[in-house]
Structure 1
Amino acid sequence: MSRNSSSIFSNTRQRNGGRYLLLSILVIVLDQITKYWCVGNIDYNTRGIEVLPFFNLVHVYNYGAAFSMFADWGGVQRYVLSGIALFMALVFVIMLLRTKASLKGHCIAYALFIGGAIGNLIDRLMHGYVVDFLLFYLKDEQGNITWAYPAFNVADIAVCVGAFLMVVLAFFSKAK
């Protein structure tokens, strides 16, 4: 093969971020396994299992979006939020497939977002709610909980980390 034909193939055969979909699948599997464990081992709507003095594993349901927004929409939120999650996951799959694999940070951010969105989408479609189980809180001297961050799950972590990474990359990345 001549030098020119070799360089033509190397320039046109750039890999996209498709292989990062394996990270999305890992997030989905980890999310579903942890939710399954939670439902099978922790009583619903209790203080659950104290792991640290400020962190419990609990078993609660979120019928809405982040921080239970839209939970009082009378059931329609299941379909609205599922549609949004499906649309966003598809948008990020397309973005991932159009991104060069060499842009690892971008690919990881998109893959995390996809995995998290689909992890919670599965819950919404199967149950009508999302299972949350990670609860951070503060106690007073008497041991009463005075503040608690809304419970969340692995999918929520993936979406937040993916979104944070996208923001950081938007500010500091030289990629277009």
Structure 2
Amino acid sequence: MADNRSALIWLWLAVVVCLLDQATKVLAESVLTYGQPVYVLPVLDFTLLYNPGAAFSFLADQGGWQRWFFTAVSVAVSIMLAVWLKRLPREQVWLPVALALILGGAVGNLFDRIVYGHVVDFISVHWDKSYFPAFNLADSAITVGAAMMALDVVREFWQERKQAQS
């Protein structure tokens, strides 16, 4: 008998990502002073920063409309990811994990946007005086999930190519 349940079982991972993201942001706000780096490694500081824009502070300097625009985009993407998860077969693992990571990160940052009006960032990676934009656990989950999705596309391409050649 085939198991036709969906991959929504992976929603637990999205919830864990969102909860860990929020917990680390609360911790960062309680122990860090805004804008003051705390040295961790030669290439890593913890620096509390607020991002009213999107990734890499895109549109951060706008008049406030971007908060609601990015909130709407996050809600739409989150719904789309949940529907996509529901449509995947439960036997799949790689793609549902990727989608759950992205969903958990999106909801974590969405919460910040709705409640605070900005996203809380605190991880600062740099080399010498060149700094990568500050980020958080949600951003990391989104990045890992997106990389997993890209790898899944490449894997499927090679599988289809191999099948076509046989």
TM-score, shorter chain, exceeding 0.5: yes
What are the residue-to-residue correspondences of 1:114-125 with 2, within 5 Å?
A: 114-125=103-114
The runs of at least 4 aligned residues of structure 1 exceeding 4 Å deviation read: none
Does residue 30 in structure 1 map to residue 20 in structure 2? yes
What are the residue-to-residue correspondences of 1:41-120 with 2, within 5 Å?
A: 41-47=31-37, 49-120=38-109
Aligned-residue offset at 1:121: 0.1
Q: Which of 112, 134, 137 is equivalent to 2:126? A: 137
Distance in 2, Cα, partners of 1:54 & 1:112: 25
Q: Which of 19, 26, 33 is equivalent to 2:9? A: 19
2:164 maps to none
1:161 maps to 144
Instruction: Figure out how many residues of one structure are paired with residues of the other and give that number.
Output: 158
Query: What is the TM-score of this pair, normalised by structure 1?
Result: 0.87
**Matched letter for residue 157 of structure 1:** S
Distance in 1, Cα, partners of 2:111 & 2:39: 27
Structure 1 runs not aligned, ≥5 long: 1-9, 140-145
Q: Which has the higher contact order (CA 8 A, sep 6+)?
A: 2
Distance in 1, Cα, partners of 2:43 & 2:150: 29
Distance in 1, Cα, partners of 2:111 & 2:140: 16
Deviations 1:10-48 (A, max 9, x none): 23x42211110000000000000000000000000111x
Structure 2 runs not aligned, ≥5 long: 161-166
Task: Give the % identical residues.
Answer: 35
